[in-house]
Amino acid sequence: MAYALIYTAKSSGKTSYWANPGFTGNSKRKYTWENPGEIHFEQLKQQYPTLFGNKSTDRFEILNLATGQKQPVATSPAPNYQVKRKPTQPTPQSLTAHPKMFRKTPYLIVLDSPNQARRYWSNSQKNFIKSINDRLSRWADLATACESLKWLLSNDQFKEQFTKGKVTILNGQTGEAVLSPAEVAKLATSVKAAQTLPIQAAKQGQRAANQTPAQRALDQHFGQLPTEADLRDDTALPDELPGIDLAKYDPALVFGAASYLIDALKERKTVNQLLKKYDGAILQDYLHVLEFVGLADLDIQDFTSAFQANRQERRQIKNLSLLLNALAQAFDPDKFWAALKDDSASNQYHFRSASTAKQLQAMIKSFQQGTADRPNE
């Protein structure tokens, strides 16, 4: 037989079922036990004091789902109840026991360390937590989860934990890992490469963007080097050479980054309108549901999951809005393109350092041959 823990409200007479955790008015989502002796009421109250805090104990009953008969709950632990000893190696909590939590957002990041219980990443706590609850972060698609894992792998705060333990991404619906250790190592390698060349992503975005003919010509220009025919020494001046890391500040990458920012600026109006929607109509809809709908009639699990996801997405939109608005105030794309067009009309170059010109011309075979062929003046 199956048994359920029910609560009947004194004022409305509505019956709610225990859903482990939380209460629900939907009988299909109730949590069941095989016999009433397994329902340790006092332990549930201690574990979830907020959920049980404003409910009278005498309104709780145990329902026999086969016969419909009810019986009062036991208000103290059974006399023969014994505390189970913890195993030497902690056993991970069962993710599949929470199907609703991972129905729409199945992916989560976990950390397994020797002689410790499995822990789950929480954006709100900025750390790994031990319990499976609403605080652990979940993602709807694997790509977004991988980006979050890459951020964690680049965070110095967690390097020691990752060295001692194993971090990966799980599917909460199946409880199985979706990334192998080799795939996690590949992500870590890509993080290291991104730290070495931080604007590589901007270059890739520039290549994918649609370009005007003038922009394509500039892109080609920055990707090529001039030839000896374009060298001039008539305006060269004595000077000392300052140092610059061209591997880090590759002109092609810098141009790609600028193109990426200009493309992002085109979305500024849309981003600001979307932020206004999140702060206005969308937020009001959630608040009015809380105002008008009783908690016993509200699916708390689905509501909090949806509200958390909504606010986290709104935070991303707000951050993007701040960046684009600041960029719009400080940067004029039209002046940028005009300046490049004026300065990049020709690939001809005139030496500016006389000493460097003399040194380099001595290395150029065609220049030496031309000097030898000239008559002595």
Give tens-digit pLDDT for 290-299.
999 998 999 9
Q: In this structure, how many other beta carbons lie within 10 angstroms of the beta carbon of residue 291?
A: 8
Percent of the chain with pLDDT over 90: 16
- Range with the largest mean pLDDT of 60-74, 100-114, 224-238, 318-332: 318-332
Report the chain's mean pLDDT, rounded to a whole number. 80
Cis bond before residue 87 (omega within 30° of 0): no
Dump pLDDT digits (tens) for 246-274. Answer: 788 888 888 888 889 999 999 999 999 99
301 CB-side CA count, 13 A: 21
Local confidence band at 136 (pLDDT 50, 70, 90 cut-offs): confident
Residue 111, classed as helix, strand or coil, is: strand
pLDDT higher than threshold 80 for residue 21: no
Q: Which residue type sits at 336?
A: F
pLDDT higher than threshold 80 for residue 214: no
Q: Calculate mean pLDDT across residues 191-199.
A: 56
Count of residues in the chain? 377
d(CA 176, CA 129): 19
Which pLDDT score is estimated for 83? 42
Report the chain's terminal Cα–Cα distance, integer Å. 115
Rounded to 5 degrees, what angle do the CA atoms 369, 353, 338 make?
105
Q: Which two tokens stand for residue 81?
A: 């109840």
d(CA 130, CA 89): 14
* Predicted TM-score (pTM) above 0.85: no
Which pLDDT score is estimated for 92? 58
Which pLDDT score is estimated for 275? 94
Residues near 262 by beta carbon (within 8 Å), at least 6 away in sequence: 333, 336
Which pLDDT score is estimated for 81? 43
Q: In this structure, how many other beta carbons lie within 10 angstroms of the beta carbon of residue 288?
A: 10
Which pLDDT score is estimated for 177? 87
Cβ 352 vs Cβ 237: under 8 Å? yes
Q: Calculate mean pLDDT across residues 143-158.
A: 84
Which pLDDT score is estimated for 377? 47
Lowest mean pLDDT among 196-210, 280-294, 334-348: 196-210
Q: Which has more pLDDT, 193 or 239? A: 239
d(CA 268, CA 282): 20
Lowest mean pLDDT among 190-194, 240-244, 298-302: 190-194
Dump pLDDT digits (tens) for 69-100. Answer: 888 888 765 444 444 444 444 455 667 677 77
Lowest mean pLDDT among 29-38, 78-87, 145-154, 207-216: 78-87
